[in-house]
Structures are given as structure tokens and as C-alpha cells.
Amino acid sequence: MTKSNSAVRIKGSRFKVVGIVALAAILGAGSRPARAQFFGSPGASTAPVGNIEGFTVSGKGTVLGKPNRLEIDLEVSASSELSADAIVKYRDTKKRLQEAFAALKLDNVTVEERGLLVDQKGVQINPYFFDAQPNRRSKAEVQLTRRLVVKCSEIRKLDEEALLQLVAKLLDVAQDAGGKVTGGQNNFNPYYYYDYSNRSSTGLVRFILDDYDKLEDEAYAKAVADAEARAQRLARLSHVKLGPVTAVREAASPGSAPTGAGMNARSGHDDDSTAKRLESSRYQEIPVQVELVVRFDVSANPPGNGRTGD
């Protein structure tokens, strides 16, 4: 191998490197405008970046609505060594609860059942149990558990006093009939560190708003108006003319995100997962909130028209 040959080869490889770098630079430069076409991440919706072809603004709309329904969660559970006994216990407990609510003869009160859990009771392994291990020979009992949801509709027309009376009656009937009312205050015990996750208060009663279509329309209209107002302000300050809306994205819609303290916009438990609803652990007006991210086109002001955004 001669010296000149190796020099030529080194030169050739330099050319290759330069070519690759140049290609990468071109590709990188080409992608910047493309990325700017899109909205930023949802978390950055309040500070859109990189949109060089218009204004991206967020608009919020909130309308308050009184809950139209309340729900109380009950649990029916029975266990026994013999599965047949567990079934009798479970069946009787459920029947007595349903009969007790039926005896109220309130047309707007219904008891709905959720999924049945067939589990075992009696064999538990506890990681904190350092000493005696659970008895290997103790038999597991069959345990049947089902959640019942007491639903009371048309509460909007009741005043607070009447509603309190109704809630008290429902809770009393549930407890007198042997029902275990779930939810409520979880007293936090600082010594039981394993209990950290379990200390939020959900309340014994859930207030539901699920007939909010009209309110939702209002909230959307308010959100669009809010977005437009924000964009107008930006256009005015930027001395450009606001163009038409080129894109809209829902940052938050009713039922998709938490809606405030004590409120939960979860889409429901178990079988309610598809239901459209808003709920609150407190009896108060529930906000129907909409948040939109809207992109407006902009154009330069006509020459004789000054540099205002109007």
C-alpha cells in the first residue's frame, strides 16, 4: 500500500462524512416547520410553542348545574365453610336489603346490583406477620360479595331539608336491613403506614349530575368565546389580523378530568363505566367544565389599515 493511495482513501472518507452531515442537516431543517404545524403536548397547552402560522390559545367554559341524582354504595357479603350456607346468607341479606327499599314505596329509589365477587376468606398471608405463620390447615371459606347501588333520582326539586330527610331515611333503611354502607371517612392512623393510600374521604352519599347535555353546550360555547377573546387580544397586541379557526382540540371535557375539590368526574364504577356523569361527594352545584385549545390563522394587516389586530 502506497502513501498516495492511503491519502486518496482518507480524502474519500472525509467526503462521505461531510455528505452524511449535510444530509442530516437538511433533514433536520426540513422537520422544524413540520413540527410547528402541530399543537404542543397537552401539558403545554397554555403555552403553545413553535406555531409560526397562527395563534393557539386555550378557552375555558364553566357552567354550574345542580345534581339530579344521588347514589349510596352498599356491600353485601357472606361467607361460610359450606358454599351452600354462604349462598343462603348472601341471598337472604340481599333480599332483605331489596325488600327494605321496596317497602319505602318511593318511585324514584332503585337498587342496582354490580358484579358478584366469589372469593375465599380465611387464608391470608401477611407480610408484616413475622412470627406465627397462618395456619396451613385452616380451610378457606367461600365468600360472596356484591356491591349494590341505591339510586335516588329527581332530587333537584327537593330543598335541602327534604333531601337530608331522604338521605337519612335511605341510610337508616340500609343499615337496619343489615347493609354495610361503604365509603365515608377513612380515619388515618399515622402508625399504620400501610394505610396511606386509603385515607381520602369519599362520603357516604354520592351526588350525580348526568343530564347535562344543555349545560355542556353552554360550556362549549363559553369556551369557544373565551378562546376567541384571547386570540383577538393577541392579534391586537401583535398588530396582525385574526383569521379563521384552523384547528380545535379538547383539552378537557365534562367527565374526563377532575372537576374540583370534593368532586370526581370519574366515569363511574364497574358497570357504570360507559355512563356519562359528573359526581360530587358534597351536595352543591357541580361545574360542567370545558377547555379547548384553538388555533386561529393570522394574516398581515392591509397596508392602509394600520398595524392593529382589529
Partner 1 sequence: MSVVRLAILSLLVVPALAFGQAKEDEADKVSNDRPDRPLQMPPASSEVKEAFDDFERFRRRNAWERALKALFTIPEAQALRFVDGQDGFIIPVAQNRRAVLAGLSPEGQAAYRLFYDDDAKKLLEKAEGPAELKTLERLYSEYFLTTVGDTAADRLGDLHFEMGRFDRAADCWLAVLRDYPDTDLSPALLSVKAALALRRAGRAGEIEPLRRDLADRYADEKVTIGGRTAPAAEFLKPVLSASGTGLDPAATPSAPPGAAAVSASASEPDLKLAEAVPADWQMRFGESVVAGMTPQERTQWDSNRLSGAVPAVTVEGTTLYANYLGYVFALDLETGKLLWRSGAFHNLDVPAAQDQARMLDPARFAILASKEHVWTLSRDLVDPNQMSPFRLTCRRTDGGDVVWQSTNLPDYAQLDLFGTPILANETVYVVAKPPMNYRPDQTHQYVLAVRASDGKLRWKTEIGTLRQGQRYYYYGLPDDSPQPRLIQRGGSLYVDTHIGVLARLDAESGELEWGYGYKTDPVESSGRFFFFGMMPPSDSTSSSTPLRSGEALFVKGAKSERLYALDTDRRKMLWDRPIAKSARLVGANDRMLFLGGPELSALDLRTRTLLWATRVPGGSSESRVLVRPGGIWQLTARGIFELDPDSGRVRRIFRGDDTGSDGGDLYVSGRHLVAVSNRTIAAYPIEASPAGGPARVDEGPTKKTRTTDD
Q: Which residues bind partner 1 (CB under 8 A)?
A: 78-82, 84-85, 88-89, 92-93, 96, 103, 122, 124, 126, 128-132, 135, 137-139, 141, 172, 175-179, 192, 194
Instruction: Considering the complex, state which of residue 85 and residue 285 has its C-beta at the smaller distance from partner 1.
Output: 85
b (16+ CB within 10 A) / e for 240-256: bbbbeeeeeeebbbbbe
CB of 92 to partner 1, least distance (A): 5
Instruction: Considering the complex, state which of residue 143 and residue 202 has its C-beta at the smaller distance from partner 1.
Output: 143
Instruction: Considering the complex, state which of residue 166 and residue 286 has its C-beta at the smaller distance from partner 1.
Output: 166
Q: How many residues does the chain have?
A: 310
Short-list 157, 150, 78, CA closest to 118: 78
Q: Say if residues 243 and 54 touch (Cβ distance below 8 Å).
A: yes
Instruction: Considering the complex, state which of residue 69 and residue 94 has its C-beta at the smaller distance from partner 1.
Output: 94
| Intra-chain end-to-end CA distance of the chain, in Å | 75
Instruction: Considering the complex, state which of residue 190 and residue 304 has its C-beta at the smaller distance from partner 1.
Output: 190
CB of 80 to partner 1, least distance (A): 4
Can you state the angle between helices 83-102 and 160-176, rounded to 10 degrees? 150
CB of 227 to partner 1, least distance (A): 52
CB of 71 to partner 1, least distance (A): 21
| Cell numbers given for 266 | 370519574
CB of 49 to partner 1, least distance (A): 50
